Amino acid sequence: MNENLQPAYAGYGTTGTSVDQRNRVLRNTYWLLALSMIPTVLGAWLGVSTGIVSGMAAGMSAIVFLGGAFGFMFAIEKTKNSSAGVPVLLGFTFFMGLMLSRMIGAVLGLSNGAGLIMTAFSGTGLIFFGMATLSTVIKRDLSAMGKWLFIGTIMLMVAGIANIFLQSSALMITVAVLAIGIFSAFILHDLKRVKDGEENNYITATLGVYLSLYNVFQSLLMLLGVFGGERD
């Protein structure tokens, strides 16, 4: 594990937060974010190989996903200031990769599936680097934006759960498009909080940015599969 991943304790205010500390938290966040991609890929590979998730009914899969995700996030919050924080976060990213395998397996079933996955990955990377760059040049305080983004996220979650039963293609596409916009803005918001010294725990910061990247990638892949998928 990279030596830069040093614990960053403390609260959320800017008072007493030095530039060096802010840069250290931001650097650690980027390192841990990069590291989290490894268990995510392993989880997705295992899920595709075994079909453990694709064999579940849609409703059961949603229950497992929500239960597992919220359980892990609770554990991350409890361990974020201890040596167990990083392993718990990496366990969470493995679980998220495993749950993503259902969609990846479906896309890989298309003749151009591998290309669509790479396109979604590249698009997510471009969005991340764009938002990361913006976070360094925008001087305005963006903390108030978090409340509206959170409300938007709750609405997306409700719509997504409803669509498990409605099975509406139009609603699915609408949710995916809105998710890309909302979670792209969340990346900017979360990175700006670290830069401004409002978030001093790199594990918490990594969790927020990871979830946004996960949702952007998933939404891009869904849209690419719908509009660009080719069948043999």
DSSP state of 173: H
Which conformational region is residue 141 in: left (phi greater than 0), alpha (psi within -120 to 50 degrees), or beta? beta
Residue 55 lies in a domain: yes
d(CA 54, CA 191): 34
pLDDT value at residue 25: 93
Q: Residue-wise over 192-220: b if at least 16 C-beta within 10 A, else e?
A: bbbbbbbbbbbbbbbbbbbbbbbbbbbbb
The structural domain count of the chain equals 1
d(CA 150, CA 141): 17
- Strand (E) positions, 55-178? none
C-alpha of 83 from chain center: 22
In this structure, which amino acid lies at residue 63?
I
Tens of pLDDT, residue by residue, the chain (232 residues): 444 443 433 333 344 468 888 899 999 999 999 999 999 999 999 999 998 887 787 778 888 998 999 999 999 999 999 999 999 999 999 999 999 999 999 999 999 999 999 999 999 999 999 999 999 999 888 888 888 999 999 999 899 888 878 888 899 999 999 999 999 999 999 999 999 989 999 999 999 999 999 999 999 999 999 888 777 6
Residue 163 lies in a domain: yes
Residue 135 lies in a domain: yes
pLDDT value at residue 232: 65
Helix (H/G/I), strand (E/B), else coil: 152: helix
pLDDT value at residue 160: 85
pLDDT value at residue 17: 65
pLDDT value at residue 4: 42
Residue 21: is it exposed, middle or buried by C-beta count within 10 angstroms (0-12/13-18/19+)?
Answer: middle
Residue 52 lies in a domain: yes
Joined together, the tokens standing for residue 14 give 């800017």
pLDDT value at residue 112: 92
- Find out whether 159 and 136 touch, Cβ atoms under 8 Å: no
- Full domain range(s) for residue 191: 19-228
Residue 2 lies in a domain: no
Residue 211 lies in a domain: yes
In this structure, which amino acid lies at residue 177?
V
CA distances from 114 to 99, 121, 228 (A): 18, 11, 12
Residue 34 lies in a domain: yes
Residue 220 lies in a domain: yes
